[in-house]
A = this chain, B = another copy of it.
């Protein structure tokens, strides 16, 4: 039973890899199995359903997301340090893990069509929003400026610039990461200047 959950995680990792490469629309259970060391039938031993498998994957993914910038927030001693560090970290994950990010956007989009994914998508969205808010509120603290924006709005703005940067990054535009860095700085500043 310990081995059971371990293997579930192992298969979920293979599924995440496949999904991030092919996208939701073209990912099949056989393809997932081929990206693991097992045959396709085993997936129905560890997961009841295809939906069950993907839902489990999404939850696994969530854990990885939640704490991506937490070290940064904890370590920053000044507002400008946090600002540039955050911008650099976003640009880095854009370059290093673009496939995982496009997978997340793909699954979140699927939740717009299939209700079975909606709950998890909204939950992860909330986690990401909290993550952004920790950065933003810490920044306000360090800069001693009042916050005039809601967590939702702040998250939406950063999500927008990141998603657009991802599109250009995967399209081969070499300035995508640099532009993202500029945008993040600009957006972060703009949050505190609203009257």
A interface residues (Cβ-Cβ under 8 A, vs B): 22-26, 102, 105-106, 108-114, 118, 121-122, 125, 149, 152-153, 155-161, 163-167, 170-171, 179, 182-183, 186-187, 189-191, 193-195
Chain B residue contacts of A106, Cβ below 8 A: 109, 112-113
**Which residue of B25, B156, B195 is within 8 Å of A164 (Cβ)?**
B156
Q: What are the 6 tightest A-B residue pairs by CB atom distance, in nearest-first order?
A: A160-B160, A23-B113, A193-B193, A25-B25, A190-B190, A102-B112
A-B contact pairs, 12 of them (CB 8 A): A23-B109, A106-B112, A108-B167, A109-B109, A111-B167, A121-B167, A153-B161, A156-B160, A159-B160, A186-B194, A190-B190, A193-B195
What is the minimal beta-carbon distance from A150 to any residue of chain B, in angstroms? Answer: 8
Chain B residue contacts of A194, Cβ below 8 A: 186, 189-190, 193
How far, in angstroms, from A148 to B51 measured CA to CA in the complex? Answer: 46
Question: How many protomers of this protein does the assembly include?
Answer: 2
- Would you call A152 and B164 a contact (CB within 8 A)? yes
**Which residue of B102, B112, B161, B190 is within 8 Å of A170 (Cβ)?**
B112
Chain B residue contacts of A170, Cβ below 8 A: 112, 118
- Would you call A156 and B152 a contact (CB within 8 A)? no
Which residue of the partner chain B has the closest CB to A155?
B164
Which residue of the partner chain B has the closest CB to A189?
B194
How far, in angstroms, from A113 to B183 measured CA to CA in the complex? Answer: 24
Which residue of the partner chain B has the closest CB to A170?
B112
Chain B residue contacts of A23, Cβ below 8 A: 109-110, 112-114
How far, in angstroms, from A106 to B181 measured CA to CA in the complex? Answer: 26
